Amino acid sequence: MPKPFILHMLTTAKNLSPFDVNMAVDAGWVSATPYINVEPSEVRGLVQDAIFSRSPKGLKSTGIFIGGRETKQAMDMLKIAKNSMVPPFEVSVFADPSGAFTTAAGMVAAIEDELKTKFDTDLVGKTILALGGTGPVGQAAAVIAAQAGAKVRIIGRQLEKAQRIADMCNSEFGEGKIEITAGADADKANYIADVDVIFATGAAGIELLSAELVAAAPKLKVAADVNAVPPAGVAGLDAFDNGKEIAGSTSGAVGIGALAIGNIKYQVQSSLLKRMITTEKPVYLHFEHAFTAAREYIQSNK
């Protein structure tokens, strides 16, 4: 008798995301079992409890999802989980803290496509400001874009925190091959003259880029906003916009709104959850795999 598909869902938070549970079940996982307030030190024990309760054949119907709130912590837990496997007792693991990896991947892939379609260029050498970039989505997007060849500056309200986050992204995710810089929100007007792309990844309901700054950006090509709650993170950009020119832009910049990004994020998360079910060999999925999946989804729907 085939074993039912069980996804063990670990989070450091007090609640597991209902969004992630729905996504898992809709992707084909029969059971999405939550483990809350999980400490990184507990991951090894939980993983080994899961892998030794089934035969290697039965483990093809078993998976682990890592949520939580912090990107580095999720990646650390993913590494612990991978190192806890005892082949042939091994299962797939997917990290997506606060949906940040799949959201960031969808946003950057959508921007990359607009750069190609509207401006006949790509991310290589582009100057990017990640406004509100100290959060999980901003961090993941900064790393993905930097790995694609962009020059990224993380902007936060406190320069010290932004610098700390930029340093962490470079050392923990970039393996010394990227150089993300930092800046203070109070100084963003000083950077706007050279900006090609804007990420608006701050808290919901906060305008991060005013109409005045949109108009003052002579090189701006694409701005993307993950905030669907009014007011928009970028003035003149609607949540439904998907490549529409931003009102007031003097450079002909186009915008990508939260709902357009959200559709790609949904498809990416679904595809990776399904991949865990169909793969013959265990996979360990994070933001890089999400970006590849986002690119593939966009290209297949042209």
Percentage of residues of the chain with pLDDT beyond 70: 100
Q: In this model, does residue 115 exceed pLDDT 80?
A: yes
Cα torsion for 170, 172, 177, 182, to the nearest 10°?
A: -10
Percentage of residues of the chain with pLDDT beyond 90: 94
Rounded mean pLDDT of 13-32? 97
Q: In this model, does residue 17 exceed pLDDT 80?
A: yes
* pLDDT at residue 29, as a whole number: 98
Which of 25, 20, 22 has the alpha carbon at shortest distance from 6?
A: 25
Specify the fold of 103-261. Rossmann fold (3.40.50)
Domain extents for the chain? 6-99+266-300, 103-261
- State the Cα angle at 38 between 35 and 42, rounded to 5°: 110
Give the pLDDT band (50/70/90) at residue 3: confident
Give the pLDDT band (50/70/90) at residue 6: very high
Give the pLDDT band (50/70/90) at residue 78: very high
Q: Report the mean per-residue pLDDT for the chain.
A: 96
* pLDDT at residue 158, as a whole number: 96
What is the CATH code for 6-99+266-300?
A: 3.40.50.10280
Q: In this model, does residue 263 exceed pLDDT 90?
A: yes
Give the pLDDT band (50/70/90) at residue 205: confident
- State the Cα angle at 121 between 232 and 272, rounded to 5°: 65
Q: In this model, does residue 147 exceed pLDDT 90?
A: yes
For the segment 218-230, what is each residue's pLDDT rounded down to a tens digit? 999 999 999 998 9
* pLDDT at residue 23, as a whole number: 98
Same fold, 6-99+266-300 and 103-261: yes
Residue 74: how many other CB atoms lie within 10 Å: 27
Rounded mean pLDDT of 20-49? 97
Q: List, as own/partner pairs, every contact residues 121-126 make where C-beta atoms lie below 8 angstroms and the sequence separation is at least 24, other chains included.
A: 121/221, 122/148, 122/149, 123/148, 123/149, 123/150, 123/197, 124/148, 124/149, 124/150, 125/149, 125/150, 125/151, 126/150, 126/151, 126/196, 126/197, 126/221
Least confident of 35-49, 71-85, 174-188: 174-188
Tell me if 99 sits within 8 A of 265, measured CB to CB. yes
Q: In this model, does residue 2 exceed pLDDT 80?
A: no
Residue 87: how many other CB atoms lie within 10 Å: 8
Q: In this model, does residue 174 exceed pLDDT 80?
A: no
* pLDDT at residue 1, as a whole number: 65
Q: In this model, does residue 194 exceed pLDDT 70?
A: yes
